[in-house]
Amino acid sequence: MSRIYYIVLLFLGLWIKYEKYREQPMVQFKLQYLLYAETSDPTYPLICGNFPRTFKTTGFCSTIKVIEEDINIDGKKEFLDLELYLTMNETLDVHSITLLLIFDFKIQDLCLLEMESMAVITHSSALPGGRLDVFGDLHLVQKTPLVCTPRKPIRMNRPILLFGSPDWLVNIYEEYSKRTLSTKLDNVLVKWTRGRPYKQPFLVKTKINYDSVEILYKPKFWQVMKWAWIQYFSILVLSVFIFKKVKRFLFANHIVTTKIERST
């Protein structure tokens, strides 16, 4: 009985539990952003952005240019090209930039997911700068597999930019890190340009690619059975065939001693 139990456990241990596939997500920049710049005056960071006016800004984002393009005309945009100009006092120098960008992120081929997500760009330098160029890919981060249902999408639309606490930036990071599903910027390349022309704004220029993402999900019952049929049935047929050949060889050549008992 114990042998049968261990065989069953081994069989279940080899059972498929998770599956993955790749999909091009539908991503759209929500025109919500927050720029936090640390300057040569430690007590006076510059903060500007486009978000609900529940927070007092200390800087002025004079111009923002946004381009999102669907190059192959499949209804899904491929990248975000953004330029952000921070107007500032000519006596201040910028030494650190943190930029939060908010997106609508959707997948819909096999699993249905709708969420508000974020990309964080951060860079600092001991040399005062006048321009920051950033290039990267927006990737999906999963802590748990998705449970996909065809008619019930997973929605995570809670606002990310919340300014309720005094240490609001740390609070935003902390709450975002707790999410089971999020996005982040990967394959990041950065160019920091030192110096700033007189009376010219600080320029942040970034290009973010919306590449296909790998999605981990729990397969449905029939998908598991299909996989099990292909994997285990072929092994079972081969095992039975080999076992019969071995048994016939052992008994035909009297390698194993046998005894026939007849019940009365």
Helix (H, G, I), strand (E, B) or coil at 115: strand
- pTM (2 decimals)? 0.79
φ, ψ for residue 26 (rounded to 5)? -95, 110
* Helical (H) or strand (E) element with 35: strand 26-39
pLDDT of residue 2: 43
pLDDT of residue 1: 44
Helix (H, G, I), strand (E, B) or coil at 42: coil
Q: How many Å apart are CA 212 and CA 78, to the nearest integer?
A: 9
The domains of the chain are located at 4-16+221-253, 19-218
pLDDT of residue 216: 87
Angle formed at CA 211 by CA 34 and CA 122, multiple of 5 degrees: 30
107: left (phi over 0), alpha (psi -120 to 50) or beta: beta
pLDDT of residue 233: 64
pLDDT in tens, the chain (264 residues): 444 544 443 455 556 677 788 999 999 999 999 999 999 888 888 988 887 666 777 778 888 999 999 888 888 999 999 999 998 887 889 999 999 999 999 998 888 999 999 999 999 999 999 999 999 999 999 999 888 877 788 898 889 988 888 888 999 999 999 999 999 999 999 999 998 887 889 999 999 999 999 998 877 655 566 655 556 666 666 777 777 777 777 767 767 666 666 665
pLDDT of residue 239: 72
Q: Give CA separation, 93 vs 42, 49, 56, 87, in Å.
A: 11, 19, 21, 12
Burial code of 12-30, b = ≥16 C-beta within 10 A, e = fewer? eeeeeeebeeebbbebebe
